């Protein structure tokens, strides 16, 4: 999109309508004045190291500037406006990002697209090494999430919440879940217990929730296992944490649930092939883990999209999911109006929004609601005619 082109002007007008109408009632994260705020305008590059003393100052800023996207730091600082080294880190929310990109859903093959930044042509399928039209290598994958991808992300978010509440004992009221406005969910934990832990500890938490680094030896399941070690280490029925999940899964899959006493179960397990046990443990890890982006969780200076603001690629709001089970990411975060607008669209996958399906379109001019047009423009598939 070029600055000053019709599409950008249209997009900014729609964003302005939203902020004029809704900015006054937006809620922001706690400790706002201690956080760094950054934004990308419709014209120009990113500005960082801003700070707002009160929520109303930030609301006024949103109405005045109409930013293309706004970000806040998960970290709290003594001086958020100073360069990073001088900010004075005081702590950070514990955050998790579940992004459909990391889920590798089978449907991604159907809606993978790429765009050539040299000639703007769009291709279907995985990004090749060079543009089929202009032969330039400057290709960018267009990230797209269909309802199936978003369902999958929700499933992983539910698993993450289970681990945080059951294993880490974090009260549900200290956790907030947000739809990111595009491809997944953000989970923020506001807990005094975890705010000051460092990058390494956060990295270990990331590995824990994503089931990485489990040792078969922790359950005495390695090839050198001995009956007595197994009896000592293997969890009883309904065991807790990862050991419990893996233990229960092995017992269920080997059909040992009805056998008593435990010694009999252990005896059976000790006779099972190590490769079988390894595969069952791997199954359990993949079944119960949450596929998060570990770099987000371990980063104590991360900036992420501000709740209540619009996503620059979709026009959808980063919205708090009060009830995750009933939250519908194709309708609930849609805040742009439905006034029809004429756009030319090329090679877009089918778009599900507000219980309707738009497309697939291939080099055609269509009149569609503004909310759908904004998403197709933001992704690079459409231009206002």
**Among the residue ranges 122-130, 163-171, 253-261, 355-363, the one whose residues contact other proteins (CB under 8 A):** 163-171
Burial of 98 (0-12, 13-18, 19+ CB in 10 A): buried
Decide if residue 97 touches other proteins (CB under 8 A).
yes
Q: How far is the CB of 371 from other proteins (least distance, A)?
A: 22
Q: Which of 3, 9, 46, 385 binds other proteins (CB under 8 A)?
A: 46
Helix (H) or strand (E) holding 298: helix 294-298
Q: How far is the CB of 355 from other proteins (least distance, A)?
A: 27
Decide if residue 1 touches other proteins (CB under 8 A).
no
Decide if residue 99 touches other proteins (CB under 8 A).
yes
Q: Which of 213, 257, 340, 350 binds other proteins (CB under 8 A)?
A: 213
Q: Which of 67, 80, 123, 294 binds other proteins (CB under 8 A)?
A: 294
When the beta carbons of 148 and 301 are compared against other proteins, the nearer one is: 301
Q: Which of 205, 265, 284, 321 binds other proteins (CB under 8 A)?
A: 205
- Strands (E) across the chain are located at 37-40, 47-50, 69-73, 75-77, 89-92, 94-99, 113-116, 122-124, 139-142, 175-179, 184-189, 303-305, 319-320, 340-345, 351-353, 356-358, 364-369, 382-384
Decide if residue 170 touches other proteins (CB under 8 A).
yes
CB-side neighbour CA atoms (13 Å) of 111: 25
Dist CA 171 CA 174 (whole Å):
6
Dist CA 211 CA 219 (whole Å):
15
Q: How far is the CB of 55 from other proteins (least distance, A)?
A: 22
DSSP 354: T
- Strands (E) across 65-221 are located at 69-73, 75-77, 89-92, 94-99, 113-116, 122-124, 139-142, 175-179, 184-189
Q: Are 250 and 283 in contact (CB under 8 A)?
A: no
Per CB under 8 A, contacts with other proteins among 302-331 are: 302-305
Q: Is 44 left (phi over 0), alpha (psi -120 to 50) or beta?
A: left
Decide if residue 296 touches other proteins (CB under 8 A).
yes
Q: Which of 71, 113, 154, 159 binds other proteins (CB under 8 A)?
A: 71
Q: Which of 34, 36, 93, 299 binds other proteins (CB under 8 A)?
A: 299
Q: How far is the CB of 145 from other proteins (least distance, A)?
A: 14
Residues in the interface with other proteins (CB under 8 A) total 52
Residues forming contacts to other proteins in the complex (CB under 8 A) are 40, 45-46, 69, 71, 97, 99, 166-170, 180, 186, 193-194, 197-201, 203-205, 207-208, 211-215, 217-218, 232, 235, 239-244, 293-296, 298-299, 301-305
């Amino acid at each position: 999109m070029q600055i000053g082109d019709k599409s950008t002007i249209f997009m900014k007008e729609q964003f302005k309508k939203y902020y004029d109408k809704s900015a006054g009632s937006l809620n922001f994260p706690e400790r706002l004045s201690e956080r760094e705020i950054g934004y990308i305008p419709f014209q120009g590059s990113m500005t960082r190291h801003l700070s707002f003393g009160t929520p109303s100052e930030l609301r006024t800023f949103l109405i005045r500037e109409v930013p293309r996207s706004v970000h806040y730091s998960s970290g709290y600082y003594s001086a958020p406006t100073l360069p990073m080294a001088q900010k004075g880190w005081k702590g950070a929310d514990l955050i998790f990002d579940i992004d459909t990109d990391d889920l590798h859903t089978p449907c991604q093959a159907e809606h993978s697209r790429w765009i050539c930044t040299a000639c703007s042509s769009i291709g279907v399928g995985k990004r090749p090494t060079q543009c089929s039209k202009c032969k330039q290598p400057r290709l960018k994958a267009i990230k797209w999430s269909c309802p199936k991808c978003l369902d999958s992300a929700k499933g992983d978010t539910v698993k993450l919440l289970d681990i945080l509440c059951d294993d880490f004992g974090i009260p549900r009221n200290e956790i907030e879940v947000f739809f990111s406005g595009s491809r997944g969910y953000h989970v923020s934990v506001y807990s005094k217990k975890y705010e000051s832990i460092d990058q390494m500890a956060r990295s270990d938490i990331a590995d824990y929730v994503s089931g990485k680094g489990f040792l078969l030896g922790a359950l005495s399941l390695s090839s050198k296992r001995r009956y007595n070690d197994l009896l000592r280490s293997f969890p009883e029925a309904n065991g807790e944490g990862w050991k419990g999940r893996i233990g229960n899964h092995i017992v269920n899959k080997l059909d040992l649930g009805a056998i008593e006493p435990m010694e009999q179960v252990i005896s059976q397990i000790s006779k099972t092939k190590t490769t079988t046990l390894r595969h069952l443990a791997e199954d359990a890890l993949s079944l119960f883990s949450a596929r998060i982006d570990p770099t987000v969780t371990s980063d104590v200076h991360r900036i992420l999209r501000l709740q209540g603001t619009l996503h620059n690629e979709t026009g959808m709001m980063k919205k708090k999911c009060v009830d995750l089970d009933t939250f519908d990411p194709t309708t609930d975060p849609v805040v742009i109006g439905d006034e029809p607008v004429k756009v030319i669209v090329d090679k877009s996958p089918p778009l599900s929004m507000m219980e309707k399906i738009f497309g697939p379109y291939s080099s055609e001019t269509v009149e569609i609601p503004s909310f759908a047009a904004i998403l197709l423009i933001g992704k690079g598939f459409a231009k206002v005619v």
